[in-house]
Amino acid sequence: MKKKIIENIKTLFYALIIALIIRSFLFQPFYIPSSSMEPNLLIGDRLFVSKYTYGYSKHSLPFSPNIIDKRILHKSPQRGDIIVFKTPADNRTDYIKRLIGLPGDKIQIKNNDLYLNDNKIVKRKISNSIDINCGTENINVTFFEETLPNGRSYTAVYRNDGSMLNSDLYIVPENHYFFMGDNRDCSKDSRYLSSVGYVDFENLVGEAKIIFFSNDIKKGTFIKFWKWSESLRTERFFRKIK
């Protein structure tokens, strides 16, 4: 009996070590708790983030221990990537946003258009007057397809009333990045310098790769299996993130 207990403890220990290695160096699951990336990521989406895409820093490890001075095996992120990062304000909270600005870039919103290095980002209207979530309310928005200079395209939405028409000029410091939510008027991101601002390269956790599960929490939690037919968004299972 004692030998069996010891073997079970060893098995559990090895399983935890393997899980820790996978989480730290390969893939980590994340949950989407807010509407800042709608319509591309929805509240209730669960996704895998690759930890190896940009190399490794202390934030690759649980609790961000101070055992790595700088990012190792690093690769540069690309405009348009959807990235999980630790907020500069506390170096603990995970945010997920789309990368818009690289080090040295100039970013500004002028007359409701996004400018990158004094060039207006190409924006094609897809549809108007669609309701989308913003916290506990629905807002009326217009859907646009935006295309960055590197050819990456994605859907962004702008509020039809009360949208940010103009902003300050943002100049991204060396070794930092500028992020924005796709739900432009419902996102706390790099435009808010006091709470998020420019994100240090060391703070990048990984790139969002795939949605593996999605549940509409307004229609029922996962444990309410009798509501699965209403709450599970099976069409989003194993959807590649763009």
Compute the average pLDDT of residues 177-197: 94
Is pLDDT above 80 for 50? yes
According to the model, what pLDDT value does residue 74 have? 84
Burial label for 21, CB within 10 Å (0-12, 13-18, 19+), is: exposed
**129-175 pLDDT tens trace:** 788 888 888 889 999 999 999 999 999 999 988 788 889 999 999 99
- Top pLDDT among 68 and 225 is at 68
Q: Residue 222's closest CA among 46, 2, 69?
A: 46
Catalytic choice (60, 97, 187, 214)? 97
According to the model, what pLDDT value does residue 62 have? 82
Catalytic choice (35, 36, 187, 214)? 36
Q: Note if 188 is an active site residue.
A: no
Q: How far is CA 201 from CA 78, 113, 187, 235, in A?
A: 12, 27, 21, 34
Tell whether omega for the bond before 39 is within 30 degrees of 0, i.e. cis: yes
Q: Note if 36 is an active site residue.
A: yes
- When the pLDDT of each residue in the chain is averaged and rounded to a whole number, the result is 89
CA dist 162 and 69 (Å) reads 43
Is pLDDT above 90 for 11? no
**Distance from first CA to last CA of the chain, Å, rounded?**
52
pLDDT class for 8, splitting at 50, 70, 90? low
Is pLDDT above 80 for 22? no
CA dist 43 and 15 (Å) reads 30
**213-236 pLDDT tens trace:** 999 888 877 677 677 778 899 999
According to the model, what pLDDT value does residue 14 have? 67
- Top pLDDT among 211 and 161 is at 211
Compute the average pLDDT of residues 18-40: 86
CA dist 82 and 89 (Å) reads 20
State phi, psi for 83 to the nearest 5 degrees: -130, 140
CATH fit for domain 2-240, picks 1.10.3720.10, 2.10.109.10, 1.10.1660.10, 2.160.10.10: 2.10.109.10
> Which of 10-19, 174-183, 227-236 bottoms out in mean pLDDT, i.e. has the lowest?
10-19
Compute the average pLDDT of residues 6-16: 72
Strand partners, 25: none
CA dist 47 and 4 (Å) reads 37
